[in-house]
Amino acid sequence: MQLQDILYSQGFGTRRVCAGLIQQGWVEVYAKNSTQTPVKYADVATEIDVAGLRFKVQGVDWPYAEKAYIMLNKPTATECSQKPSTYPSIYTLLPAPLRQRPQKGAVQGVQAVGRLDQDTTGMLLLTDDGKFIHRMSSPRHHVPKVYEVMVKHPLTNAQVMQLLSGVVLDDDTKPVRAAACDAVSERHLRLTLLEGKYHQVKRMVAAVSNRVDALHRSQIGALRLPDDLLPGQWRWLSAADLALIAA
């Protein structure tokens, strides 16, 4: 693939902008399987093998990714929206190339796989792979999501059992159940869900006469949020990570 097209596909701007970055010496390419000093190319039409490609743009290392899959540790007081109403958008936490990756249609860049409320923290996946978003969002696939729930009142065994057996939310007649529910401590509940209704955790806890004081998503599938990924930070997902999500 031509170097100019590589930069364009990775979200570094229009083809004209990408050509300018190359011609001004801002783009360096690492040799295959090498961490040695990368080489600058001035020709926008230079053919590069994208398999395992790593490159630098304006001093920042980037891997080539046909599709981007990333994990963000969502901080509190942020919204999972491109047009937030009250708090900053989670998309402002991402570098411009991830927000600008070209897609068919009007939407550009990576998109959140589902949403977390503005006051909910923890693991959020983002991608520009529409099929992955559909698969992860479909209730037919039953991808488990684990939440750490801090509640206002001390938990009782009856509340835990009720969450496991099922509660009826205010807009439905069919009970919703937790796939797993453990009282970690007096006010700490670990809840696993296989679906994602609107404000589901908060409404389920309210249905057993308690209240959520803080909510954090710690795991999707078998993939846990790393302890060293601080609130507001993001990282690429590896093939092994993606396998854990689908496990």
Catalytic residues: 117
Which of 53, 33, 52 minimizes the C-alpha distance to 41? 53
Residue 71 to residue 61: CA distance in whole angstroms: 18
| Burial class, 205, CB count within 10 angstroms (exposed 0-12 / middle 13-18 / buried 19+) | buried
Which of 139, 142, 151, 209 minimizes the C-alpha distance to 182? 151
Which of 75, 69, 107, 116 minimizes the C-alpha distance to 92? 75
- H or E element that contains 40: strand 39-40
Q: What phi and psi, each to the nearest 5 degrees, are found at residue 101?
A: -55, 130
Q: What phi and psi, each to the nearest 5 degrees, are found at residue 214?
A: -155, 145
Residue 101 to residue 8: CA distance in whole angstroms: 8
Asked if 105 and 95 count as a contact pair (C-beta separation under 8 A), the reply is no
Residue 59 to residue 74: CA distance in whole angstroms: 26
Asked if 147 and 191 count as a contact pair (C-beta separation under 8 A), the reply is yes
SS3 86: coil
